[in-house]
Chain A
Amino acid sequence: MGNYKIKAYYDEAYPPVPDSTTLFWRKFVPWQIIRFFILNFKMIRIVAGGHS
């Protein structure tokens, strides 16, 4: 018997998981600073639309 787990045919095996590049960009501070301002802008747009 091999000492391994077959990663298939169960729920957790189907969704996409981030690769090393995605993980890098998620924590790459200069890029995240840019994303921070973009996120702020998008959320303010959402909030502003909530009042009439």
Chain B
Amino acid sequence: MAKVVVLGAGVAGHTCASFLKKKLGKHHEVVVVSPNSYYQWIPSNIWVGVGQMTIDQVRFKLQKVYDRWGIVFKQARAISIHPEGNAETGRGYVTIEYTDEQYAGQTEIVDYDYLVNATGPKLNFDATEGLGPDKNSLSVCTYSHAAHAWEHLQESIRKMQNGQKQRFLIGTGHAMATCQGAAFEYILNVAYEISKLGLSKMAEITWISNEYELGDFGMAGAFIKRGGYITPTKVFTESLLAEYGVKWIRRAGIYKVEPGVVHYESLNGEMKTQEFDFSMLIPSFTGVGLTAFDKSGADITDKMFLPNKFMKVDANYTAKPFEEWTASDWPTIYQTPMYENIYAAGIAFAPPHPISKPHTSPNGRQIFPTPPRTGMPSGVIGKIVALNIAEQIKGGHKEHHHKASMARMGAACIVSGGFGSFDGLGASMTVFPIVPDWEKYPDWGRDMTYSVGEAGLAGHWLKFILHYLFFHKAKGYPFWYLIPE
């Protein structure tokens, strides 16, 4: 009997655990360790942030699903990895600390045959002075943050209805933040709701981003077929913002947020400020801060993780300039180079380098987005890691038959721009691959036959249906495994 431990129950971890149990059955043990008792479908947090969904529509209790599947669930956070065991045992283990009410603070050792690190990101609000829902800005990164943002949005709406103008500032809250897509979706939804209430003239809405050009989204932008032309996503994105009456500030590295004002440095080195009454700013991400120790107890954290605390996998981490980046730098099986029974899935794996071109201001501040690893790639990675581990356990071999490089996988992104069966809007974009491959596709960096960029009701319907499809899949309802990631 083999034991697989999955750290994290987000998109990557939950997908991985579900496929592991499906493939391994009752004869092997799958353990999930997650500090949160709920699964949350993060893309729908945007709708919580504008009051179109409640918290309970975007989350469900993990324990009930795992009991049905026969997965052991421990509501705890992982603290350290001991891949070689210790002086008493040669078996790898992790130490965890419980976060549930009953056992809060208690630690436990959980041994494993295979370990999957799918711990996701730490929302690093502290990297920007004054940033975050506990300080001077809002967030939609978790369902509770989104609900908090909705409370503040209602307050701003009330003020506008009473004749008081409001300034909205939405975007990235750090010079190297990623997840522009979520912030972009939120600003479109906020603008839509304000317009629906007839309050557009009372609102000044501004997008602020660390992107060199709008539409970069941390993936170096893209080209899409649209209106008989091949156009950059810059045009698509700016067009949507202009249509919604949104102004924008780009190439901005926010370094401080005070009540009602952000301080940022522009890429040309100017120090500027932007005032606001309502601001939703995405923080930078780091790994969750797992530590690692060898058999003797020596700290090997810096060998298993990069300084940004994401775990090293089978990528090429050799430092090289933007012009020399290649598709083959990106990992395919997500196995750590030091230990063949440890994998990192989803946001927890360390990308070999950014996708967007790095830019630095004259003062030395790096201002560009770090790579996104959102729902679809995280789910796909979680699945292939599970399939490879399950095949190794059942087949008694060490081969990897399933591969999924971000330089060989596409992404479909639907940005909601309003909620309503007949007056909503979804901006749909697809790219293939996520990481541009200029060797294989010398004209546009990607395969244009897979390119989509359009706005309309169809995208909104699709996004709405996907919300329920992904919940069906995550809850393990009949034929869940047929729904793609």
Task: Give me the interface of A with B, judged by CB distance under 8 Å.
Answer: 11-18, 25-27, 29, 32-33, 35-36, 38-40, 42-52
Contacts and interface: CB of A to CB of B under 8 A. Distances in A.
A47 B376 contact: yes
Nearest to B249: A11
Chain B, interface residues (CB within 8 Å), range: 35 or more
Contact of B456 (A27, A42, A43): A27
B159 interface: no
Contacts of B369: none
B349 interface: no
Nearest to A35: B458
B216 to A, nearest CB: 15
Contacts of A12: 238, 241-242, 246-248
Interface string B208-243: 000000000000000000000000000100110111
Give 8 nearest A-B pairs by CB, closest first.
A50-B409, A15-B238, A46-B410, A35-B458, A36-B458, A32-B457, A26-B456, A47-B484
A40 B377 CA distance: 18
A40 B243 contact: no
Interface of B: 235, 238-239, 241-243, 246-248, 376-377, 380, 383-384, 402-404, 408-412, 422-423, 425, 428, 430, 432, 450, 452, 454-459, 461-462, 484-485
A18 B462 CA distance: 22
B380 A27 contact: no
Contact of A27 (B248, B423, B430): B423
Contacts of A42: 412, 430, 450, 452
Contacts of B241: 12, 15
Given A15-B239, A18-B243, A39-B462, A49 B410 contact: yes
Given A12-B242, A15-B238, A32 B458 contact: yes
A37 to B, nearest CB: 8
A36 B461 CA distance: 8
B404 A52 contact: yes
A26 B425 contact: yes
Contacts of A50: 376-377, 380, 404, 408-410, 485
Contact of A51 (B243, B380, B412): B380
A36 to B, nearest CB: 4
B387 to A, nearest CB: 9
B46 to A, nearest CB: 19
Main secondary structure of the interface of A (DSSP, over half): helix
Nearest to A46: B410
B430 A46 contact: yes
A25 B235 CA distance: 20
Nearest to B238: A15
A48 to B, nearest CB: 8
Given A39-B452, A43-B430, 6 more contacts: A12-B248, A18-B455, A36-B458, A43-B428, A46-B411, A52-B402
Given A18-B243, A33-B458, A46 B412 contact: yes
Contacts of B402: 51-52
25 contacts: A12-B246, A15-B235, A18-B239, A18-B243, A18-B455, A26-B425, A27-B422, A27-B423, A27-B457, A35-B456, A36-B462, A39-B428, A39-B452, A39-B454, A39-B458, A39-B462, A40-B462, A43-B430, A46-B412, A46-B432, A46-B450, A47-B485, A50-B485, A51-B402, A52-B403
A39 B423 CA distance: 18
Nearest to A28: B457
A18 B457 CA distance: 15
A48 B456 CA distance: 24
Contacts of A14: 238
Nearest to A50: B409
A25 B430 contact: no
Contact of B412 (A32, A33, A35, A47): A47
Contacts of B455: 18, 26
A13 B241 CA distance: 11
Nearest to B462: A39
Nearest to A27: B457
A16 B462 contact: no
Nearest to A45: B450
Nearest to B412: A43
A49 B456 contact: no
Nearest to B248: A11
Given A47-B412, A50-B404, A17 B376 contact: no
Nearest to B245: A12
Nearest to B409: A50
Contacts of A46: 410-412, 430, 432, 450
